[in-house]
Chains A and B, each alone.
Chain A
Amino acid sequence: MPEVMDSGDMNRAIRRMAHEVVERNEGASGIVMVGIHTRGVPLAHRLANTVGEIEGAEVPVGTLDIGLYRDDLAGRPTTALAHTGMPVDLDDQTVVLVDDVLYTGRTVRAALDALADLGRPRVVQLAALVDRGHRQLPIRADFVGKNLPTASTERVRVRIAEIDGSDGVWIEEAE
């Protein structure tokens, strides 16, 4: 089970992504970080804090549960819904969607639908800690922590300290 990112790698990747967000948007004004449950949420907070430090601004963080927007609900056990909440009106804001792993793109597709029901952002960008390829939809990330070529039989495991107690990214062979 090779570790492909450790805690230091993750911090550096998040720092770089935060700089890219600031560069692309010429500052932090109007940016709302929106984390996709579960591990996108702490990542969104870290990105928001780092962007905030760079620009000396407060970056609001929203949370999104896409459970009501999935296209594969039938056949998967229903889980509870985590809280969806936006600290500000999304109309005309710059939303940066944040998730841990970008894979098929279906989660992002669902998140875009969910966002559209919550408001009309000026622009939506996508940040992913890991892009592992194998897209099934025409979706790409604007900010990527690490491009990780994988086989579709492999699984990418992300641990985030806020949830899992420590940071790190691993590749596992699926059983």
Chain B
Amino acid sequence: MNSFLTIEGVSTDELSGLLDLADEFVDVLERPIPKVPALRGRTVAMLFFEPSTRTRMSFERAAKALSADTMSFSPSTSSLSKGESLKDTALTIKAMGADALVVRHKSTGAPWRIAEWTGLPVLNGGDGAHQHPTQALLDALTIRRHFGTLEGLRIAVVGDIRHSRVARSDVGAFTTLGASVTLVGPKTLLPVDLTGWPVEVAHGIDDVLDHDVVYLLRIQKERGGASVLPSLSEYVRRFGLTRERFDTLPERSVVMHPGPMNRGVEIAPEVADHSRSLVEPQVANGVAVRMAVLFRLLGGEATDV
């Protein structure tokens, strides 16, 4: 494999190896000069066909901290708006000398197609409601750095599971690393078919307030997540992590969120800013895991990731 497209099928050893590598990059990012020459002369192109702030900036930062050059592309100002096909766009960027592509697209599978067409290493930066593998890595790294291991932890993922590529990817990474996962959400926001998901299901956040990690997802209005809810206040009543609920969590439990947050909906503002919220470490660790993946794919003859 010379691309990083999905967390599915990645073994425990491979995942742990990537997290070990990312741990070293966390150290690099904390140095006075947070930059190493590992990918000097390589070019990473960012193809974000769907809006993104943190993922795109995080990949840019990761590439630059490895001394790679970056090129960026945004659909609204590009020839896509003149009707150029996805394939032509990808091949054009390849012809400009990109060595790897980071792709985000609203359609499931788009990064695979682009990898086929271009033959370049492709990093999936999120495809539709399908996969977001570097998010899963950064979440796993954040939990591992906090608890030391994922083995035996109980992790609750709460919210709009059906439309969430984060949930899909996180479940894969967390369970591969030995945690047990409970999915929590209204029936309308859980996947229709949960066969093959190695998870338990609960229908109210009150059922998981004894878990080690409460991972909150955003209601995805752009993917129709809000339309299936009776009302936001009804959602908060059953699924929101309010201050009162937070106070009943065990001392060792932590709260996570992939961002962007709807403060006051899935997470109370003071919970988001609490010292047991790992939201900020998640963002910082995102840069380190993306460095790890870029280094694995471009740092030599790419072997298995």
Contact = CB atoms under 8 A, between A and B. Distances in A.
B27 A75 contact: no
Nearest to A79: B300
A68 B300 contact: no
A118 interface: yes
Contacts of B302: 78
Contacts of A77: 300-301, 303
Interface stretch (A44-52, A80-88, A124-132): A80-88
Contacts of A68: 28, 36-38, 66, 295
A163 B130 CA distance: 44
B36 A80 contact: no
Contacts of A118: 31
Nearest to B38: A68
A119 B32 CA distance: 8
- Of the four ranges (under 10, 10 to 19, 20 to 34, 35 or more), the interface on chain B belongs to 20 to 34
Nearest to A70: B38
Interface of A is mostly: loop
Interface stretch (B16-24, B81-89, B105-113, B196-204): B16-24
Question: Which 5 pairs, one residue from A and one from B, show the smallest C-beta to C-beta distance?
Answer: A78-B300, A68-B36, A68-B38, A78-B299, A81-B24
Given A81-B21, A84-B24, A117 B300 contact: no
B138 to A, nearest CB: 18
Nearest to A117: B33
Interface string B224-244: 000000000000000000000
A129 B280 CA distance: 45
Contacts of B38: 67-70, 73
Interface string A83-126: 11100000000000000000000000000011001110000000
Nearest to A65: B24
